[in-house]
Structures are given as structure tokens and as C-alpha cells.
Amino acid sequence: MAHPTKFPSATVHTKANVYFDGRVVSHTVITAEGAKKTLGLIFPGSYHFGTVAPERMEIVAGACSVTPDGGAGACGYGAGESFEVPGDAGFTIEVKDGLCEYICSFL
């Protein structure tokens, strides 16, 4: 399934969500249908995130590897691929080089 390239009639929050000293940055988007998403960039490094609600991460460009908390090992994802994380969980995402661009949908 191809990721969206635009969100018509969406509301974009101009204040950035900045994590890890600016190494992960996103902006919140509310779609015309009321769905909350974030669009972001991840610079090279390894970062741990916790979730409250379930999430789907769609990789728009670049690549990353993801290790769920308690998981057996990392899985790699590239442009056009996605992964889901359950609510009240966590994961470590690693970008080796370049930028990883993503869309995070809150399920």
C-alpha cells in the first residue's frame, strides 16, 4: 500500500515536536476526517519511544531498523514499508545513515 503524498484540507500544527536534542522532529497533522498523524524526520542514531495508543509508522524515505521492547531482534524497514506498535508499549528505532522520513498514524 502506498503512503499518502498529501493530506488535503488538513490542519497542521506549526509548533514542532522535538526529541533527542533535535535528532527526531515531527509536526502534528489533523486530517479532514479528524485522524491525528505526525510527519517527521529521524537523523542517524538510536532512539527509544514509548506509546500510549497503538501506532502505525509508514516509512516515506530512507531506512531504519526497529526493535520492539521485549522483541527478539531488529527488523529493517525502507521506503514504502510500515510497522505497527501496540499501545502501552515501546520500541527502539535506529537510523544508520541519511534521513528516515515517516508518517505516524495513531490507531
pTM for this predicted structure: 0.92
End-to-end CA distance of the chain: 17
Give me the number of domains the chain comprises.
1
State the pLDDT confidence band at 48, using cuts at 50, 70 and 90: very high
Question: Domain of 16: which CATH number?
Answer: 2.60.120.10
- Phi, psi (degrees; rounded to nearest 5) at 84: -120, 150
Q: Is residue 1 part of a domain?
A: no
Residue 80 lies in a domain: yes
6 within domain boundaries = no
In a domain, 2, yes or no: no
Q: How much of the chain, in percent, has pLDDT values that exceed 70?
A: 99
The verdict on residue 16 lying in a domain is yes
Q: What are the start-end ranges of the H helices in 1-107?
A: none
- Is 95 within a domain? yes
Highest mean pLDDT among 8-12, 15-19, 67-71 belongs to 15-19
pLDDT confidence band for 64 (50 / 70 / 90): very high
* Host domain of residue 58: 11-106
In a domain, residue 39? The reply is yes
- Collapsed DSSP state (helix, strand, coil) of residue 11: strand
What integer best gives the mean pLDDT of the chain?
A: 95
Q: Examine residue 51 and state whether it is found in any structural domain, yes or no.
A: yes
